[in-house]
A = this chain, B = another copy of it.
């Protein structure tokens, strides 16, 4: 088992959870607020080429979240590595109660005391991730 998260790690994990909550709710304002305001942001959606810049990245999220398919994006097994004012979260993403089918890297930067997302990559898992009970609610 990993050690319990430190206060700073917990802050990052809350920011990471807020990302999946915003996605699931289709809440574009929340999604907008959680991406970095000054740092350059980038995004690699599954299968897709790089999106760079706040306007481009947020427009893509808006398009995804306003699409025809409701999609409850759950995050499982989130782990955070802290590198000073930058944090890298790895986790698995799944639709609702389905086993997670994507692995993700979420990079956060500290801006004005708040951890904000600077980069996201998600890609498919060969085998769905079955969370252990202890990591299911990260």
Contacts and interface: CB of A to CB of B under 8 A. Distances in A.
Interface of A: 39-40, 42, 44, 46-50, 52, 77, 79, 81, 83-86, 88, 90, 92, 103, 105, 107, 109, 118-119, 121-127, 129
Given A81-B40, A84-B84, A121 B121 contact: yes
Nearest to A48: B126
B88 A48 contact: no
Contacts of A81: 39-40, 42, 118-119
5 contacts: A48-B103, A49-B129, A81-B118, A105-B121, A107-B107
Contacts of A52: 79
A123 B85 contact: no
B40 A103 contact: no
A43 to B, nearest CB: 9
A117 to B, nearest CB: 12
A73 to B, nearest CB: 16
Contacts of A107: 83, 88, 105, 107
B90 A50 contact: yes
Nearest to A41: B81
A138 to B, nearest CB: 12
A84 B129 CA distance: 34
A121 to B, nearest CB: 5
